[in-house]
């Protein structure tokens, strides 16, 4: 049952070289730089997003994800979810409004898989970038690179997936859209949604807590995914795999790395999920096809290369 969590709002990623990272996320991926702060963080968004930022690049000496934030319906919902998280047994830290520029107060908590998440209700509304609110054109003409449409989801690797599932589903109101089960019926992958999308956040079982697999951005068409692949070659960007299709979600995809080794995905298509849908199940013995539908074989890198 929905609990007032609306959608993914932002992800903060640590990067080793901020200039190289900004170049990658803007020139190559087509995000737009929106602001910087006195901690050296750079705020970016994709052009269709209405709020001020969705990606925050944070200079550091170890890449990976600091946190992923979800936007909730309103401040009363935020307060209630904070209480519900604490009642469930999660420590909740309140980050004051303005700590991220243009963002209201955030409630930060660590889930059993080891990852940090945040909820917030308010962020500066800047509108879609490059088009007007009234009689908007189809798209802005001065986008660069892959012209990413929106920040879409993240995939995390960690353990304690069952407890993580309990928190996301029963406290935060996510639905299980897709899953991978092993021979014992244990869930080794869970794709969770608060929308019609096949995933707003996903988790894959991994012995080390708190690992980051990728941040994903939506493109409109398969041709745009192929064009992204061309740009990855033109810029000699580190590629992981693709263009291909996933079995899970059936999205069409390509994976590559930012200059600090954080994995990115751009994808299009994918299945939809309504709350009355039963979860789609893949079996672990078919994991190759579940992840790479065409090759039907896993590459070791996809499972082991994490930040």
Where does this chain bind other proteins (CB under 8 A)?
16-17, 61-64, 238, 257-263, 300-301, 304-307
Please identify, using beta-carbon distances, which residue of 88 and 302 lies nearer to other proteins.
302
Please identify, using beta-carbon distances, which residue of 261 and 288 lies nearer to other proteins.
261
Name the active-site residue from 10, 24, 115, 153.
153
- In sequence order, what are the beta bridge partners of 190? 179, 203
24 is catalytic: no
* Spatial distance between the Cα atoms of 87 and 70, rounded to a whole number of angstroms: 19
* Spatial distance between the Cα atoms of 60 and 201, rounded to a whole number of angstroms: 24
For residue 49, with 0-12 CB atoms within 10 Å meaning exposed, 13-18 middle and 19 or more buried, which class applies? Answer: buried
94 is catalytic: no
For residue 150, with 0-12 CB atoms within 10 Å meaning exposed, 13-18 middle and 19 or more buried, which class applies? Answer: middle
Instruction: Name the token pair of 104.
Output: 């209201």
Name the active-site residue from 25, 165, 255, 273.
255
214 is catalytic: yes
Please identify, using beta-carbon distances, which residue of 43 and 212 lies nearer to other proteins.
212
Cβ at position 150, least distance to other proteins in Å: 24
213 is catalytic: no
Name the active-site residue from 24, 199, 206, 273.
199
Instruction: Name the token pair of 296.
Output: 């039907």
The angle subtended at Cα 48 by Cα 45 and Cα 50, nearest 5°, is 75
Please identify, using beta-carbon distances, which residue of 50 and 305 lies nearer to other proteins.
305
Cβ at position 61, least distance to other proteins in Å: 4
Kindly list the catalytic residues. 153, 199, 214, 246, 255, 265
């Amino acid at each position: 049952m929905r609990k007032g969590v609306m959608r993914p709002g932002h992800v903060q990623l640590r990067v080793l070289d901020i200039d190289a990272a900004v170049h990658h996320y803007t020139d190559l991926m087509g995000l737009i730089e929106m602001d910087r702060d006195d901690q050296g963080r750079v705020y970016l968004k994709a052009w269709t997003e209405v709020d001020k930022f969705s990606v925050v690049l944070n200079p550091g000496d170890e890449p990976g994800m600091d946190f992923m934030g979800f936007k909730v319906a309103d401040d009363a919902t935020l307060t209630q979810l904070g209480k519900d998280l604490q009642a469930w047994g999660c420590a909740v830290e309140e980050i004051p409004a303005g700590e991220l520029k243009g963002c209201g107060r955030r409630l930060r908590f660590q889930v059993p898989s080891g990852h940090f998440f945040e909820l917030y209700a308010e962020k500066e509304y800047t509108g879609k970038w490059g088009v007007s609110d009234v009689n908007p054109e189809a798209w802005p003409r001065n986008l660069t690179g892959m012209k990413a449409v929106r920040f879409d989801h993240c995939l995390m690797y960690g353990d304690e997936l069952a407890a993580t599932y309990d928190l996301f589903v029963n406290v935060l109101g996510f639905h299980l859209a897709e899953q991978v089960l092993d021979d014992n019926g244990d869930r080794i992958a869970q794709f969770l949604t608060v929308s019609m999308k096949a995933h707003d956040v996903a988790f894959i079982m991994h012995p080390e807590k708190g690992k980051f697999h990728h941040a994903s951005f939506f493109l409109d068409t398969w041709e745009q995914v192929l064009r992204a692949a061309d740009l990855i070659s033109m810029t000699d960007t580190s590629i992981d795999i693709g263009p291909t299709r996933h079995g899970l979600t059936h999205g069409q995809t390509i994976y590559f790395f930012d200059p600090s080794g954080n994995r990115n995905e751009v994808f299009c298509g994918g299945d939809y999920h309504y709350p009355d849908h039963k979860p789609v199940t893949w079996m672990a013995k078919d994991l190759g096809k579940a992840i790479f539908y065409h090759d039907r074989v896993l590459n070791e890198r996809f499972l082991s290369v994490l930040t």
